[in-house]
């Protein structure tokens, strides 16, 4: 039996068995599990198990902290658990996060939207700038080339959203990405709406008796759910085709069959179902408005953001367009005008309360976009995954929607979102601005109310960066065993003073926003918030560990100390981007020698802290490990005193 076989078997058994594992990867100190159901894991047992330092649940991962020898344990877990190369299980279709239907939906949508949230928010801000250019500067597509260019830059992302969703959904459902893109491209094929219109006029819009239909909006541009459903169906077909197709023709036969079957199914099933749901919703909302306009306002205000997520808001928009065209005024869409500002309010509170740097970096552009009426970055990136802020936004939107109907606030034209909707509320015949002023007042109420409620309740931890309670326990001998041991000379006196490998502000270990480090579970030490992106050798040593992504380095010092320098928090997720190693594992280094360079701004821009813990992982072998009391330090200056 290999050295870590028993430990690996025990870990697998107590995370719920290999059937509970979606995937596994590791960083320099911990195994990072993606579990189907975290409630099946015996966390208390694993925390007390020899060979395990602690357990951390963060960022959607179940992290089992091992220590310096995590690569060896990882290899054994992969072997014992029957994991495929790269740490992913060959799982059957249908495997995924467990829990209630809403939780599973949130996990699915968040996973699909997370990869492109930054560009999504950026496109939303550009759309706001284009709106300013039109409303304030009089620029249009007819008189300004700059307007046309920026409008394409902002609107193009949203128009062709099905393509981006197809790509990330393919990763979520584990199918060929380019096959999925081909299916997404079919959904947004530019001549499709015109062709269907011609066929409908000629009565030739049926295939096997099923109508070839598009959503109420007239196309699949800017839609979300059709692409997700199409790729999900395609993934099921692809999996079966791979099983039965000979390898010699698999490369083209599998995508051929997948595309050939999925695209017609999408148009012949998803389209009609979407139209049926849209018609049903339209009728339901009309009935509610006829019964009680105030109740209608509350229901539409509460459900608007949910309808937008499913693309079902088009059930209401045509009613408003007809109403304005017929009567010159409409209140049908007024309850849907201010939910974006309830997102603004909760986002502002989240930015003030959260301790997670990544949330702050995502929230700011989402906050700006929400003011312009673009809420997708806020909903998909922050409030929906956190759940509580999304609930707050919906409830406050219900109240505001009812008030909009109570005061008979409506629009004299259709167009404009966010702060650009107010001009449409001015009576063009009389110049009366009373309805606009009421809407502005309710906007303030929406922002303040949602902000205040969110300030009174806890902000959920989204990525696991905030400090959390973690047991402090002395690392076992196995947990701190070095990857490569180097005997210190018994005849040579080595200084107990360790120089700083970094230039920057000194941070107490207890203040590091990662419980594995802040609790002392990995050993004692200190952290530095670097101002210069370069790690220098803090003493004469041997490189005992260099993680493949270059974000962490282990040193065996001549005084017997085993040192871990971990650049940033969760920076393993960057997959080496922004890091350059100047040494390799096993190299002999001298005091002041460059070890690793890193791009501070790039790491921060990706949403990760650069706070760098410097840990003596075999603290138990020393009488004391004491950090400097200085507030800042230069590379090469005294940082730690390690007394035998």
Average pLDDT, the chain: 82
Q: Are residues 74 and 112 in the same domain?
A: no
Return the closest-CA partner of residue 350 out of 465, 467, 462, 513: 462
Q: Where are the alpha helices (DSSP H) in 532-619?
A: 600-605
430-440: average pLDDT: 91
Does residue 91 fall inside a structural domain?
Answer: yes
- Residue 338 reports pLDDT greater than 60: yes
Q: Are residues 403 and 416 in the same domain?
A: yes
- Residue 216 reports pLDDT greater than 70: no
Q: Are residues 383 and 455 in the same domain?
A: yes
**SS3 (DSSP) at 448:** helix
- Report how far residue 434's alpha carbon sits from residue 220's, in angstroms, rounded to the nearest whole number: 38
Q: Are residues 400 and 432 in the same domain?
A: yes
Which residue reads 């007809």 in tokens?
322
Between 108-112, 261-265, 343-347, 366-370, the lowest mean confidence (pLDDT) is in 108-112
Q: Give residue 585's Cα distance to chain centre.
A: 33
Contacts of 417 (CB under 8 A, 6+ apart): 131, 340, 372, 373, 374
Q: Are residues 382 and 508 in the same domain?
A: no
297, 334 Cβ separation under 8 angstroms: yes
Q: Are residues 70 and 103 in the same domain?
A: no
Q: Are residues 410 and 317 in the same domain?
A: yes
Q: Is the dihedral of CA 526, 529, 531, 534 positive or negative?
A: positive
443, 417 Cβ separation under 8 angstroms: no
Q: Are residues 513 and 461 in the same domain?
A: no
Both tokens of residue 205?
Answer: 């819009």
Does residue 572 fall inside a structural domain?
Answer: yes
- Angle, CA of 225, 227 and 231, to the nearest 5°: 120
Q: Are residues 103 and 73 in the same domain?
A: no
- Report how far residue 152's alpha carbon sits from residue 579's, in angstroms, rounded to the nearest whole number: 35
Does residue 197 fall inside a structural domain?
Answer: no
| CB contact burial 83-115 (16+ within 10 A = b; e otherwise) | beeebbbebeeeeebeeeeeeeebbbbbbbbbe
Q: Are residues 111 and 84 in the same domain?
A: no
Convert the pLDDT of each residue in 293-303 to its tens digit: 999 999 999 99
Confidence of residue 463 (pLDDT cuts 50, 70, 90): low
- Residue 427 reports pLDDT greater than 90: no
Q: What pLDDT was estimated at residue 615?
A: 92
| CB contact burial 366-394 (16+ within 10 A = b; e otherwise) | bbbbbbbbbbbbbbbbbbbbbeebbebbb
Does residue 425 fall inside a structural domain?
Answer: yes
404-414: average pLDDT: 89
Return the closest-CA partner of residue 585 out of 640, 542, 536: 542
Catalytic option among 27, 436, 483, 557: 27
* CATH code for position 68: 3.30.1360.60
Does residue 269 fall inside a structural domain?
Answer: no
- Report how far residue 504's alpha carbon sits from residue 643's, in angstroms, rounded to the nearest whole number: 24
Range of the domain at 365: 99-116+292-466
217-221: average pLDDT: 77
Contacts of 288 (CB under 8 A, 6+ apart): 295, 296, 299
Q: Of 466, 488, 509, which residue sits at a domain end?
A: 466
Q: Of 31, 64, 96, which residue sits at a domain end?
A: 96
150, 97 Cβ separation under 8 angstroms: no
Q: What pLDDT was estimated at residue 101?
A: 62
598-626: average pLDDT: 88
- Residue 177 reports pLDDT greater than 70: yes
Both tokens of residue 593?
Answer: 């020698």
42-51: average pLDDT: 86
Q: Provide DSSP, 78-112.
A: HHHHTPPGGGB--PPTT----S-HHHHHHHHHHHH
Confidence of residue 406 (pLDDT cuts 50, 70, 90): very high
53-72: average pLDDT: 79
Q: What pLDDT was estimated at residue 469?
A: 39
- Report how far residue 394's alpha carbon sits from residue 409's, in angstroms, rounded to the nearest whole number: 20
* CATH code for position 606: 2.70.70.10
Does residue 67 fall inside a structural domain?
Answer: yes
Confidence of residue 96 (pLDDT cuts 50, 70, 90): very low
Convert the pLDDT of each residue in 465-512 to its tens digit: 433 333 333 333 333 333 333 333 333 345 577 889 999 999 998 888
Does residue 285 fall inside a structural domain?
Answer: no
158-170: average pLDDT: 88
Domain count, the chain: 3
- Residue 44 reports pLDDT greater than 80: yes
- Residue 548 reports pLDDT greater than 90: no
| 394 given a catalytic annotation | no
Model pTM above 0.85: no
- Report how far residue 89's alpha carbon sits from residue 419's, in angstroms, rounded to the nearest whole number: 48
DSSP strands (E only) in 27-179: 30-35, 54-58, 61-65
142-160: average pLDDT: 89
Confidence of residue 193 (pLDDT cuts 50, 70, 90): confident
Q: Are residues 430 and 569 in the same domain?
A: no
Host H or E run for residue 71: helix 70-81
Q: What pLDDT was estimated at residue 316?
A: 80
Q: Are residues 341 and 413 in the same domain?
A: yes
Does residue 477 fall inside a structural domain?
Answer: no
Both tokens of residue 363?
Answer: 């929230």
Between 214-218, 249-253, 608-612, the lowest mean confidence (pLDDT) is in 214-218
């Amino acid at each position: 039996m290999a050295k870590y076989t028993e430990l690996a078997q025990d870990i697998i058994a107590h995370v719920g068995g290999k059937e509970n594992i979606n995937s596994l990867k590791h960083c320099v100190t911990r195994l990072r599990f993606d579990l189907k159901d975290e409630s099946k894991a015996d966390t208390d047992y694993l925390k007390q198990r020899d060979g395990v330092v602690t357990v951390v649940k963060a960022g959607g991962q179940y992290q089992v902290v091992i220590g310096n020898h995590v690569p060896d344990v990882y290899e054994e877990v992969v072997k014992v658990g029957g994991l495929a190369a790269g740490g992913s299980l060959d799982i059957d279709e249908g495997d995924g996060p467990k829990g209630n239907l809403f939780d599973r939906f949130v996990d699915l949508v968040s996973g699909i939207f997370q990869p492109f949230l930054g560009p999504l928010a950026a496109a939303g801000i550009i759309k706001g700038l284009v709106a300013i250019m039109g409303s304030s500067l009089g620029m249009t597509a007819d008189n300004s080339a700059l307007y046309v260019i920026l409008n394409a830059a902002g609107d193009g992302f949203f128009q062709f959203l099905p393509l981006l969703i197809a790509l990330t959904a393919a990763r979520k459902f584990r199918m060929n990405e380019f096959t999925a893109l081909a299916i997404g491209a079919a959904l947004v094929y530019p001549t499709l709406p015109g062709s269907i219109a011609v066929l409908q006029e000629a009565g030739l819009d049926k295939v096997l008796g099923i109508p070839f239909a598009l959503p109420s909006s007239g196309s699949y541009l800017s839609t979300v759910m059709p692409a997700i459903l199409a790729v999900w169906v395609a993934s099921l077909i692809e999996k079966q085709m791979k099983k039965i197709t000979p390898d010699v023709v698999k490369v083209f036969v599998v995508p051929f069959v997948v595309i050939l079957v999925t695209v017609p199914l999408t148009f012949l099933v998803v389209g009609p179902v979407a139209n049926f749901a849209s018609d049903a919703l339209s009728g339901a909302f009309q009935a509610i408005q006829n019964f009680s306009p105030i109740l209608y306002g509350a229901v539409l205000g509460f459900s608007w953001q949910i309808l937008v997520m499913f693309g079902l808001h088009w059930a209401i928009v045509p009613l408003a367009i007809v109403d304005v065209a017929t009567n010159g005024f409409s209140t049908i869409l007024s309850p849907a005008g201010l939910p974006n500002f309830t997102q603004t309010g909760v986002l502002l509170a989240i930015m003030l309360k959260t301790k997670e740097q990544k949330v702050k970096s995502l929230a700011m552009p989402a906050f700006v976009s929400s003011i312009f009426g673009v809420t997708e970055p806020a909903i998909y990136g922050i409030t929906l995954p956190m759940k509580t802020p999304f609930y707050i936004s919906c409830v406050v939107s219900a109240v505001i929607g009812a008030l909009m109907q109570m005061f008979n606030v409506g629009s004299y034209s259709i167009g404009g979102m966010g702060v650009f909707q107010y001009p449409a509320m001015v009576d063009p015949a009389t110049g009366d601005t009373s309805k606009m002023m009421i809407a502005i007042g309710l906007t303030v109420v929406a922002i303040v109310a949602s902000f205040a409620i969110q300030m009174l309740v806890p902000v959920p931890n989204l990525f696991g960066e905030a400090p959390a309670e973690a047991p402090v326990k002395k690392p076992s001998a196995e947990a701190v065993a070095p990857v490569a041991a180097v005997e210190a000379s018994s005849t040579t006196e080595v200084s107990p003073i360790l120089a700083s490998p970094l230039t920057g502000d000194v941070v107490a270990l207890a203040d590091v926003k990662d419980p594995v480090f802040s609790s002392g579970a990995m050993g004692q030490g200190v952290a530095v918030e670097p101002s210069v992106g370069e790690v220098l050798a803090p003493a004469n040593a041997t490189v005992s560990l260099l993680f493949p992504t270059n974000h962490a380095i282990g040193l065996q010092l001549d005084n017997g100390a085993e040192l871990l320098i971990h650049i940033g928090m969760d920076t393993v997720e960057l997959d080496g981007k922004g890091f350059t190693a100047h040494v390799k594992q096993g190299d002999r280094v001298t005091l002041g020698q460059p070890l690793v360079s890193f791009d501070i701004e790039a790491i921060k821009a990706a949403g990760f802290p650069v706070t760098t813990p410097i840990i003596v992982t075999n603290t138990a072998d020393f009488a004391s490990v004491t950090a400097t009391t200085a507030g800042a330090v230069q590379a090469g200056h005294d940082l730690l005193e390690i007394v035998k």
